[in-house]
Amino acid sequence: MDIGPHKQAESVAADSVKGSVTPDDLLIQSRNRHFGGQEIENRWWMGGNPYGTAMYNALSISFPKGEAFFIESARKFQDGAPEKLRREIRAFIQQEVVHSREHLCFNRHIEAANYDTSRMEQSVTDVMERLKDMPDIEHLAGTICLEHMTAVLAAEMIRNPAHFKDADEEQRKLWLWHASEEIEHKGVTYDTWLHATRDWTRWQRWKLKSKFMARISYGFLKNRTKGAMDFLQQDGITGPRAWFGFAYYALVAPGPIGRTIWPMLKFFLPGFHPWNVDDRYLIPRAESEYEAAIMDPPEDTVTEIGERRQHVRLKKVA
């Protein structure tokens, strides 16, 4: 049935989330990849680097429980969301479920490489226990913070070949696959948040999400650093050698954390939205033969917010 241009415009408006700049043609799809069969051949699978290996191992330990938490937070707001967002939440859940599954396998392989992960697992469980009694909207606030941190790190991991160029093949594929899907669904929980808080003032929204970002980024960095130090200690690397080696890796070279400080901080800016930067051009790099696929981004896929707002009149949102 032809509903005419007027009705069509109305149905698009009803389907959209106010303040969202998620691309209309974004496709979120679970690639459902399996990496579980591949054991870790080299204990320091990150090119023989104990610091890089410890950092990514510590991150991986936090993923299964963390991603289950993200899924729950988004699921609670699925009912009543516009149809497009509901579809995106479903696709987001599918992707995160597979990520958890594959990282669980990866974590078992870490244990098989003779690492004791029980203290780190317990620390993640303790954090989850503390969050349990918070209101749903605060869970969602926490989730948008962690999803932003993940997406920023994911983009850096794919954009900069220095991070994974020496990693063992199977582990590199796992991490880049995960990173590509994190970019793809980076706006889903944020749009869910915008929709759930649509009656709030910008200040109310900014205040809550900023409070959570400050707390969560501090807690997350502290706990993952503790986890990395635990791994390093199990390899006999302790004291200043462990701290300097780890800080140099994380902040300087290749510097996955140091290089993402500014994009992380953009979360606090007025008008922030994860899709203010359209970095979908990174996804094929992770999907294809990684090094062979390095290319400059095509001009027309990098659309900054200012440019997109010239076409769509959007109110600023926190």
The residue range among 71-79, 182-190, 262-270, 278-286 that interacts with Fe ion, by the rule CB under 5 A, is 182-190
Q: Is 103 in the site for Fe ion (CB under 5 A)?
A: no
**Least Å distance between CB 212 and Fe ion?**
16
CA distance 245 to 242: 5
**Least Å distance between CB 132 and Fe ion?**
20
User: Do 87 and 202 contact (CB within 8 A), yes or no?
Assistant: no
Residue 112 identity: A
The residue range among 39-47, 180-188, 220-228, 293-301 that interacts with Fe ion, by the rule CB under 5 A, is 180-188
**Least Å distance between CB 1 and Fe ion?**
38
CA nearest neighbour of 115 among 36, 198, 53, 192: 53
The residue range among 76-84, 165-173, 175-183, 292-300 that interacts with Fe ion, by the rule CB under 5 A, is 175-183
Select the residue interacting with Fe ion from 84, 99, 173, 273 (CB under 5 A).
99
- End-to-end Cα separation, the chain, in angstroms: 39
Residue indicated by tokens 């990693």: 167
CA distance 306 to 313: 10
**Least Å distance between CB 215 and Fe ion?**
19
**Least Å distance between CB 112 and Fe ion?**
22
CA nearest neighbour of 242 among 51, 66, 86, 100: 51
User: Do 189 and 143 contact (CB within 8 A), yes or no?
Assistant: yes
Residue nearest to Fe ion according to CB distances in the complex = 99
Task: Tell me which residues touch Fe ion (CB under 5 A).
Answer: 96, 99, 182
